[in-house]
Structures are given as C-alpha cells and as structure tokens.
Amino acid sequence: MSIYFIRHGQTDWNKAMIIQGQIEVPLNEVGIAQAKDVALRLKDVHLDRIYASPLSRAIDTAKIINEYHHVPLEIDARILEQYYGELEGKPRSGDVYLSHRHTIPTRYPGGEGYFDVVYRVYDFLHQLEKEHSNEDILIVAHGGMARVFHSYFVDMDNDTFTHYGMENCAVATYEWPKREIPSFKGIQK
C-alpha cells in the first residue's frame, strides 16, 4: 500500500503567515490553481480512496484531485489541523507560537500539543493499516499534520521534527514501515 500525503492548496492566511489551525479559511485563487496542478500530476496514479480533513481547504483540494479518480472521499476529524488555541488568527512570527513550536511536550495556550496530535493521527494510520493494507490512499490535510505523518514513517530528532514542513499542494509518498515496531512489554516480574 502506498500513502500519498498532500498539504492543501494555499489560503490567504498561508500567504500572510497567519496561524489558521482549525479556523475555516478557504482556498484562494492560487490554492485552487495549485490543487488543479497536483490533480493533473496525479491523474495517472492509482488510488483506491481519498481521506481529507474536515476543513474546506482540505476537502476542496481533495475534490479537485478526485475529479480524475472518482474514488470514495472520506472525511476524518483525526487528520484535522492542530488546534493552536488562543494563537489561531495570530502571526506565525509571534514569540509564544515560536517557543511552543520548539517545545514538543507542551500544549499551545488553550490548544493542543504535539503529543495530542500524534495520538489521533497515529490512531488514524493504525486503522488504515489494519483495514486498507492493500490499497493506495491519498490523504489531504495540513502543514501541521505533515510533520506528524512524516514522523510515523521516518525517525526524526526534535529539531528535524519542529522544522519539517511542506509547501502547499506538495506530495509526500510513503509505504508502510517494513521495520518491526516493538510493542510495550511492561514490567517483568
């Protein structure tokens, strides 16, 4: 099974470097053009299904791509962008945002931390692996989700994790891990 991860097309807030988080911000004209371009690039790629975040910028990007595939398009809240709480709608250059972005175990004020997001995204990926292990799947989500998806398939140190990013409508391709992930054994008596 192949997983194709795509960050949604550009919005006005992406362009202005404003934290969107879970605020509904639509694609702008550039974002629509980006989605059409990536749809053309992927038109001959086999897909069995598409998953999208519940936000319109992801759904609209997925619908444009699906014009060439006509496969089931499913919405899943587990791949919704990270909730940045009080920082949503504020500039990405703010000190509070930047300090929390580089402190993995903490939550954004009134929002989620990376561990919260990892919990829901890994749950989503475990379910896909269990239920759709022989399918090729496209996932349309967000920039914050990109680093979490990448961390599922590729080991990263903290610095690499916090700096990992994708441009709008960029595509990352993953295969299910071939390495065995050890399970927790607990305390042996």
pLDDT in tens, 65-102: 999 999 999 999 999 999 999 999 999 998 988 888 88
**Going from the N-terminus, what domains does the chain have, and what CATH number goes with each?**
2-133+145-171 (3.40.50.1240)
How high is the pLDDT of residue 182?
A: 56
Token digits of residue 15: 């362009």
**pLDDT at residue 181 above 60?**
no
pLDDT for 25-45, tens place per residue? 999 999 999 999 999 999 999
What is the model's pTM?
A: 0.92
Catalytic residue set: 8, 81
Predicted confidence band of residue 173 (pLDDT cuts 50, 70, 90): very high
The span from the CA of 161 to the CA of 147, in Å, is 6
How high is the pLDDT of residue 185?
A: 59
The closest alpha carbon to 141, from 153, 130, 150, 154, belongs to: 150
The span from the CA of 115 to the CA of 118, in Å, is 5
Place of tokens 């194709």: 4
Q: Are 6 and 169 in contact (CB under 8 A)?
A: yes
Exposure class string for 129-157: b at 16+ Cβ within 10 A, else e: eeeeeeebbbbbbbbbbbbbbbbbbeeee
Burial of residue 73 (CB within 10 Å: 0-12, 13-18, 19+) is middle
